[in-house]
Amino acid sequence: MGRLTGKTALITGGTTGIGMATAKLFLQEGARVAIVGQDAGRVAEATQTLGAGVIALRADVASKSDMAAVGARL
């Protein structure tokens, strides 16, 4: 059992860099992970990289309607 088992993490900017690294670590530690990114292509690539355990969503965090949709999805 990982340290984050039973926890859920929403990582904005989770398709590249520090966000991607954080998502990988959280998944390894047992968290349910959702990542958000603006670019649909990067979101798709991140889904492939992180695997089936991740929820990957295309959204702009500056958009109220996008983030409302993210909240409804989770």
Q: One digit per residue, pLDDT tens: the chain, 74 residues? A: 789 999 999 999 999 999 999 999 999 999 999 999 999 999 999 999 999 889 999 999 999 999 999 999 98
Q: How high is the pLDDT of residue 52?
A: 82
Q: How high is the pLDDT of residue 53?
A: 85
Q: How high is the pLDDT of residue 1?
A: 73
Q: How high is the pLDDT of residue 74?
A: 85
Q: How high is the pLDDT of residue 72?
A: 93
Choose among 35, 28, 45: nearest CA to 11: 35
Choose among 58, 69, 54: nearest CA to 22: 54
